[in-house]
Each structure stands twice: as structure tokens, then as C-alpha cells.
């Protein structure tokens, strides 16, 4: 339990996020990213359920409706206990439905069973009041970064850049803002704007991890521009599935297409087949992907876990 809830990062989601961010499914592996980290600012309600559970099917829609009505003041994460048995055991889930609320990385309230809608509303209202004193202002830089990050993950690059340009006026060269802006400019194919921003970064911020990630993302975007189209590479791989160079090129193409999971998987395939291929190029490239995406990105977290499994198997 303590290992699950001990993380103190502040990468949460705030009000005014999209509907997809308000209600989502998660897994044991993504529990930190989807529950513990965002709970640092916003209460996260976790619904433990199963497909065979009748009361779960009755409670679930009620929770989703009231969470959406709250418009970002709280969020709902759903966990199928059958598919995530280890997490359910660590949190001592003994019956379902069980609902926990996490805030500031800790469980703060909860209930079991299919309770009336009025009780669910009271439960959520109490969470909103609890978090009200810590609610960030609409123009808070961290809030803008959180909202922009959600937009970047949805590939809504123009909207993300609009928010981040507002944030950078409030806090010039804030590392997280720079990182997000560079990724937004890359998504909009505005490489000159990304270059100009990187060139203006003060010397005392050059070694910040987020600035390094921004530089890595820009470098990757430039290096990928001459890679053949993704469908062409997929066709080549279908005819020569053991060709590691095609796997590598396809990984780069997937990254260019924002298909990060597939990009990472292709590099992992190379590493699992031949770790020393091209002087370890696949592993080096994978680390560049992780740096460009950022340490807290879900695909980075999952990719590092899989890389460790390959290297130490």
C-alpha cells in the first residue's frame, strides 16, 4: 500500500479538461500515473468493479454521471479487479463495488456496495469541499501546463500551444512550459518556432531535465523527417520480418506519427533479438524516446518497465 501511494510528483489534471480525462479505465501498471500523481491537486475517485458484478453495473453509470457534472473538480478512474488482481489485493479490496477517493497521494474516503445516488452526490460534494482550499487559479502556470499536457496527449497541438503561450508570459522559460511548447510546435510542424525558443533559453536552465527533453524531442523530429512513409515500411517488414534495420526505421516512423507505444515496441524487439545491433543503437534510441516524452509520460513508464524485463531476463 505505501509503495503505491508514496509518490509525491505534481503532474495532476485540473478542471476544464476533456471528458476523456474525467472518466477513464486504468491498470496496475498505470495506477501511479492515472491515480496517485493527479491526486496531488484533484481528488481521484477509484471504482473497483468487475464485468460479472450486477451492483457494479448499477453504480458505475451513477458515478460517471455525477463526476461529469462536477466538470473537473473530481475525476473517476475505473479498475477491473479481475484484470488487476495484484492491485486489488494490495489495496485490500474484499468486495465489489468498492470506491476509494485519493487526494494528495493518499486514500481519504470511500464506501462499499451499491449506495443510493444521493449518497454518491454527498460523497463527491465532500471531496470538492476538501479540495476547494487548494484549487489553483485559472491562470496558474501549473494548471495551464496540466491542461496543455492533456491536449498534447490528444494531439490537439494548436489548443495546447495557445495555453502554453499564455503560461510562458506568466513565467518566462518555465522548463515544463518550454517542454510542452516545443512538443506543440513539432506537432504543428513549426520547427523554426521550436528552434527559436530553444535558442532563447537562459544558461541557468539549460541542464533542467524538461529542457533536455525539449531538445531531445526537437532533435528527434529533425532526424525523422527523411524516414520513409509508415505504410511503406510496414509492407517491407511484412516481407522481411527479421530485418532489424526495417524495425528500427519503422520505430522512427511510428514516433513521427505520435504512435509512441508502437515505436517503443519495435525498438524493444530489436533489443530482445540482438542487444548489440549497430553498437546498441536500438537501446540508445529508446532512451532518447524516453527523454523526449518525459519521465512521467505513461509510455515512458511502461517502456522502461519492459526494457528492464528484456535486459534482465
Contact 298, 265 (CB under 8 A): no
Contact 299, 293 (CB under 8 A): yes
Q: 17, 36, 44, 53: which one is catalytic?
A: 53
Give the SS3 label for residue 151: helix
Distance CA 71, CA 234 (A): 42
Q: 106, exposed or middle or buried, with CB in 10 Å at 0-12, 13-18, 19+?
A: exposed
Listing DSSP states for 168-214 in one string gives: HHHSTT-HHHHHHHHHHHHHTT-HHHHHHHHHT--GGGTT-HHHHHH
In the beta sheet, which residues pair with residue 162?
none
Residue 85 is a catalytic residue: no
Give the SS3 label for residue 279: coil
Nearest to 142 by CA among 38, 43, 26, 297: 38
Residue 53 is a catalytic residue: yes
Phi/psi of residue 274, nearest 5 degrees: -160, 95
Q: 5, 56, 198, 267: which one is catalytic?
A: 56
Catalytic residue set? 53, 56
Amino acid at each position: 500500500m505505501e509503495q503505491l501511494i508514496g509518490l509525491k510528483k505534481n503532474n495532476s489534471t485540473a478542471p476544464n479538461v476533456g471528458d476523456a480525462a474525467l472518466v477513464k479505465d486504468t491498470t496496475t501498471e498505470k495506477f501511479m500515473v492515472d491515480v496517485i500523481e493527479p491526486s496531488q491537486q484533484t481528488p481521484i475517485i477509484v471504482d473497483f468493479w468487475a464485468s460479472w458484478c450486477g451492483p457494479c453495473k448499477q453504480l458505475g453509470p451513477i458515478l460517471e454521471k455525477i463526476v461529469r457534472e462536477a466538470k473537473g473538480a473530481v475525476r473517476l478512474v475505473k479498475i477491473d479487479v479481475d484484470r488487476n488482481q495484484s492491485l486489488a489485493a494490495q489495496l485490500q479490496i474484499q468486495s465489489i463495488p468498492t470506491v476509494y477517493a485519493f487526494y494528495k497521494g493518499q486514500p481519504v474516503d470511500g464506501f462499499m456496495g451499491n449506495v443510493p445516488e444521493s449518497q454518491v452526490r454527498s460523497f463527491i460534494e465532500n471531496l470538492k469541499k476538501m479540495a476547494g482550499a487548494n484549487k489553483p487559479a485559472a491562470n496558474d502556470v501549473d494548471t495551464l501546463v496540466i491542461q496543455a499536457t492533456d491536449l498534447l496527449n490528444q494531439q490537439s497541438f494548436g489548443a495546447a500551444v495557445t495555453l502554453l503561450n499564455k503560461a510562458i508570459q506568466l513565467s518566462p522559460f518555465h522548463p515544463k512550459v518550454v517542454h510542452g511548447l516545443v512538443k506543440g510546435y513539432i506537432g504543428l510542424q513549426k520547427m523554426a518556432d521550436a528552434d527559436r525558443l530553444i535558442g532563447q533559453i537562459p544558461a541557468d536552465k539549460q541542464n533542467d531535465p524538461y529542457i533536455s527533453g525539449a531538445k531531445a524531442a526537437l532533435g528527434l523530429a529533425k532526424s525523422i523527417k527523411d524516414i520513409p512513409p509508415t505504410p511503406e515500411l510496414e509492407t517491407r517488414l511484412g516481407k522481411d520480418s527479421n530485418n532489424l534495420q526495417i524495425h528500427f526505421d519503422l520505430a522512427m516512423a511510428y514516433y513521427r506519427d505520435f504512435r509512441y507505444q508502437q515505436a517503443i515496441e519495435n525498438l524493444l524487439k530489436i533489443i530482445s533479438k540482438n542487444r548489440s545491433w549497430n553498437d546498441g543503437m536500438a537501446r540508445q534510441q529508446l532512451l532518447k524516446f524516453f527523454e523526449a516524452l518525459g519521465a512521467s509520460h505513461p509510455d515512458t513508464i511502461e517502456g522502461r518497465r519492459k526494457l528492464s524485463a528484456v535486459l534482465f531476463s
